[in-house]
Structure 1
Amino acid sequence: MGKIFGILVLLGVPLSVVGSLLHWPTMLMFVIYCITIIALSSYMGRATESLAIVAGPRIGGLLNATFGNAVELIISIFALQAGLIEVVLASLTGSVLGNLLLVAGLSFFLGGIKFKRQVFNEHDARHNSGLLMFAVIVAFVIPEIFSMGMNESDTLTLSIGISIVLIALYLAALFFKLVTHRGVYAGNKENSETAHEEEPEWSKGKAILILLLATAAVAYVSESLVHTFETVGETLGWSELFIGVIIVAIVGNAAEHASAIIMAVKNKMDVAVEIAVGSTLQIAMFVAPVLVLLSLLFPEPMPLVFTVPELISMASAVLLAIIISNDGETNWFEGLTLLAAYAIMGIGFYLL
């Protein structure tokens, strides 16, 4: 599989540059850009997996989520610059749904087929549950409710205030996990022993270098990808909402998708759950508020106000993920339940 992605990167990056300069057909370039970003994301996933073996499941999962979300952040910044605010908000929704339902669902399902019962750190699961409830249900629903009686200026001010609070709490959560309470809640022994036995694919220096180079290449391709959205939507009859929720979210989070599934199949559930849930928290508590603040630099600022279908979908995904993961163990049927929820929501967004 690694060789296939290597070939795709070697072909995709030059084709992206040449096709952009020679103005090849938009639909063709859309496919090339998407495949190239997914192939580059696989290298990001492999690099962070190597770092996870060295640094441990928490830091490894955080690194994977951070560099995976870097792709999403880069695409969103270019979309904001192009004035595609609906696409950005939809892609944030898609990231939450994709990580909690698609990534976690596939991880639990494929891991559960190989192992009848998989366990992970239930203390981390409960800690993350509280943050998920706060980030998605409190911080996303409240602006929608309050903005109903506000003008645009006040709505934007409310969004800025909430964004600052979210970023502060996210940094505090990292400090809690990685500094003050690091090692207080022991992880799954099985996973820890497996991690110690496994050798990283790449050295620490090589993994960091590959991460930086892949992120830079993704930044270049992402800028071109954003300019194809309007034509692709008109050609295929896709709405901006569907492009953001499904297409941008899947392409933007390809690194986490691959890494979490690989970890689950290897029975490293602490890392798999940390990637899926940690990435969701990072999107909701860091990426979304950072985009709100960055949008102030562009002609059209972005308030943190989602549509009702987006809010209900995210709240449902959070509640379902919490109910399934709070006991610290999972199986293939719970994974299938999450995938079924994602399929239902995907159909709904397609038909909107």
Structure 2
Amino acid sequence: MVNRLFMLMVAAGLPLSVVGSLMHWSPVLMFVIYCLTIVALAGYMGRATESLAIVAGPRIGGLLNATFGNAVELIISIFALKAGLVGVVLASLTGSVLGNLLLVAGLSFFVGGLKHKRQEFNIYDARHNSGLLVFAVLVAFVIPEVFAMEMNEQRTFSLSIGISIILIGLYMAALFFRLVTHRGVYQHKTDAVDEHEEPEWSKKTATIVLLLATVAVAYVSENLVHTFEVIGEEFGWSELFIGVIIVAIVGNAAEHASAIVMAYKNKMNIAVEIAVGSTLQIAMFIAPVLVLISLLFPVSMPLVFTLPELVAMGTAVLLMVAISNDGETNWFEGATLLAAYVIMGIGFYLL
């Protein structure tokens, strides 16, 4: 039923996106069409990566899902940078961290916990990711903010470039550590894969679907960015709220759906890898890459967030570390994460 709905949304959404942009329909109407189309395309990306996850295993599958899920947000952010909307991009990065750690993980734990009283995942991966989360958010994001108080704009951006290069290097080292030098060293009983499960699509078909969906998302995203200013004026939304809530939810729709489905099927290793792995990719790869890409545009983007953004991200990281470090979860822990997300969402809306 859900797959048919996504198919219908894509079949109707793509033509309407093209016709509406050419005929200059109402920006509010086009904003809705663009968002629904991206969500539907993200659903296809989620199904394709789920098929690849069955073939490749939970770690690589989760990494693929996070990567292609974040590709949507990366594309939206690049076009937003091109339009000079630096505040929206930084806010969307904040929203991705909050969305993945609190909304995606929270819904996954909650939905999975309703069906399974107690769910386990790889405790070694959880502890490894906890250290990286603390480093990426509480060190790499907070340091530029602190030093920027005593620096001019040029020196602040130079510091951002240096930190970005270090973050990208450490992220690549983390992948090499987990997938090459220490692959299989920290095994857990929940790493077992159901050998009888068949992927929905073949590896070739899933790859083609991913590529086509990514191209379509790029087209729709470019048009979506041009509606932000009108939408903000129409509904009284700030750039911060649009970035933290709207762009983050739309951009991460694929991960939201995939992680929840995996948790419902009691595949918690993949669900956690999608939520936490995606956060690490946002903080240690997507954000620094956007800083470097901004060099190509008239307005550069320093890696400096506002105080509310930093406090919200730091709180989300600490809460996730406290909940996930025991390697098991339940519906109540999911509800706790969701409650934190709603509280922060209200705060950003009222700012």
TM-score, scaled relative to structure 1: 0.99
Shift, 1:188, TM fit: 3.1
Mapping 1:162-201, distance limit 5 Å = 162-189=163-190, 192-194=192-194, 196-201=195-200
- On the 8 A contact 1:120/1:329 being kept in 2, the answer is yes
Between Structure 1 and Structure 2, how many residues are aligned?
Answer: 350
Instruction: Give the equivalent residue in structure 1 for 2:206.
Output: 207
Amino acid at match of 1:248: V
Instruction: Give the equivalent residue in structure 1 for 2:290.
Output: 291
- On the 8 A contact 1:112/1:330 being kept in 2, the answer is yes
Instruction: Give the equivalent residue in structure 2 for 1:340.
Output: 339
- On the 8 A contact 1:188/1:270 being kept in 2, the answer is no
Amino acid at match of 1:5: F
Shift, 1:288, TM fit: 0.1
| Matched position secondary structure for 1:263 | helix
- Rounded to whole Å, the distance in 1 between the matches of 2:138 and 2:277 is 16
Amino acid at match of 2:326: D
Instruction: Give the equivalent residue in structure 2 for 1:91.
Output: 92
- On the 8 A contact 2:70/2:252 being kept in 1, the answer is yes
Instruction: Give the equivalent residue in structure 2 for 1:227.
Output: 226
- Rounded to whole Å, the distance in 1 between the matches of 2:45 and 2:155 is 40
- Residue by residue over 1:171-229, the C-alpha shift from the partner in whole angstroms, topping out at 9 and shown as x without a partner, is 0000001000111111334x5243x2211000000000000000000000000000000
Mapping 1:1-352, distance limit 5 Å = 1-189=2-190, 192-194=192-194, 196-352=195-351
- Rounded to whole Å, the distance in 1 between the matches of 2:319 and 2:192 is 28
- Rounded to whole Å, the distance in 2 between the matches of 1:174 and 1:220 is 30
- Rounded to whole Å, the distance in 2 between the matches of 1:69 and 1:192 is 26
- Rounded to whole Å, the distance in 2 between the matches of 1:193 and 1:295 is 41
Amino acid at match of 2:345: G
- On the 8 A contact 1:52/1:61 being kept in 2, the answer is yes
- On the 8 A contact 2:100/2:278 being kept in 1, the answer is yes
Amino acid at match of 1:136: V
Shift, 1:84, TM fit: 0.2
Amino acid at match of 1:212: L
| Matched position secondary structure for 1:157 | helix
Gaps of 5+ in 2: none
TM-score, scaled relative to structure 2: 0.99
Shift, 1:144, TM fit: 0.2
- Rounded to whole Å, the distance in 2 between the matches of 1:85 and 1:300 is 8
- Rounded to whole Å, the distance in 2 between the matches of 1:309 and 1:66 is 27
- Rounded to whole Å, the distance in 2 between the matches of 1:244 and 1:327 is 32
- On the 8 A contact 1:140/1:311 being kept in 2, the answer is yes
- Rounded to whole Å, the distance in 2 between the matches of 1:71 and 1:5 is 16
- Rounded to whole Å, the distance in 1 between the matches of 2:192 and 2:49 is 17
- Rounded to whole Å, the distance in 2 between the matches of 1:181 and 1:188 is 17
Identity of aligned residues (%): 77
- Rounded to whole Å, the distance in 2 between the matches of 1:284 and 1:272 is 19
Gaps of 5+ in 1: none
- On the 8 A contact 1:187/1:270 being kept in 2, the answer is no
- On the 8 A contact 2:57/2:193 being kept in 1, the answer is no
- Give runs of ≥4 in structure 1 deviating > 2 Å: none
- Rounded to whole Å, the distance in 1 between the matches of 2:222 and 2:342 is 29
